Amino acid sequence: MPELPEVETVRRELSEELSSKNRQSTLLGFTIYQKQLRVKVPEKKLRALIGLKILSVCRRAKYLLFETEKGHIISHLGMTGRWHFSKEKTKHDHLSFDLSDGRRLFYQDIRRFGWIEFSEDYKQSKWYKKLGPEPLEAESFNAEYLFKKSRKRKVPIKAFIMNQEIVVGVGNIYASEALFRAGVSPKIFASKITREQANKIVEAIEFVLQSSIEIGGTTIRNYASTRGNKGSFVDMLMVYGRAGQKCKKCETPIRQIQQVGRSTFWCLSCQK
């Protein structure tokens, strides 16, 4: 499901629920219902965290980070992962945490593409070291950076901005949306973009991610936040999921193509 705005929305809610001033949660226990997610749930490592407080809930790229005194529980939501509070286990709940105030926090994941990890020092881990800059941090992610990185890269620009080593958090929806707003064709090679186009792409990525965060992300089918809210950015989508419908700017029918195994939506006349 989730790209950066959806993960950030979940993070904000979890942070309030677990580690705000008036709510400090301690982990009293946990239950694993389905050990086999994308990687196995680290049962022994989690057991060592019983009795510890959740100090904060942070995010890096599309990863959620639950901070404890001994290290971080890392959660990636894959396509359909979700954290929700409930009294009882429901379908596709694979793990639950019992909290000191009596609440239970469940990890639900229909397709089981997500995973849960624990790390004493996540900044040293393999996945973390490969991550590119955060798209909303302008000191590290800007036109000059994107332009330099794109030289000699023979992949379509759409695949390039979805590469988490280049910039994190941009998935299939926001890649199409950002390129529409930048007026850049998804098909051109990364190596062919101009400085000006790099600038427009960076601005468009910032714009779509920031505006989506402000209204709770995008819900296409499964996604809902921890509190069960749907994201309303779906109403702002200019191209994603609109194949055959009129472009909202110029009324040309929106096209759908396959790129690197994923659907891309774009407007032939608005994007060059």
**Residues carrying an active site annotation:** 2-3, 62, 262
Integer Cα distance of 253 and 108 in angstroms: 37
Least spacing, CB of residue 106 vs DNA, in Å: 16
Q: Which residues, 6 or more positions from 260, have their beta carbon under 8 angstroms from its beta carbon?
A: 155, 156, 159
Cβ-based nearer residue to DNA, 62 or 84: 62
Give the interface with DNA as residue ranges (CB under 7 A). 1-3, 6, 36, 38, 61-62, 76, 78-79, 91-92, 110-113, 127, 152-155, 159, 162, 164, 171-173, 190, 217-223, 231, 260-263
Cβ-based nearer residue to DNA, 55 or 257: 257
Residue type, 30: F
Q: Under a CB-based contact definition with an 8 Å cutoff, are residues 242 and 249 in contact?
A: no
Integer Cα distance of 131 and 246 in angstroms: 37
Q: What separation in angstroms does the CA of 72 have from each of 31, 77, 117, 267?
A: 18, 16, 8, 43
Residue 186's CB is within 10 A of a number of other CB atoms, namely 23
Cβ-based nearer residue to DNA, 153 or 248: 153
Least spacing, CB of residue 246 vs DNA, in Å: 19
Least spacing, CB of residue 183 vs DNA, in Å: 22
Residue type, 271: Q
DSSP state of 5: H
Rg, Å, the chain Cα set? 20
Cβ-based nearer residue to DNA, 28 or 155: 155
Q: How many CA atoms lie within 13 A of 48 on its CB side?
A: 12
Look up residue 5 and give its two tokens: 């705005």
Least spacing, CB of residue 112 vs DNA, in Å: 5
Cβ-based nearer residue to DNA, 1 or 57: 1
Least spacing, CB of residue 261 vs DNA, in Å: 6
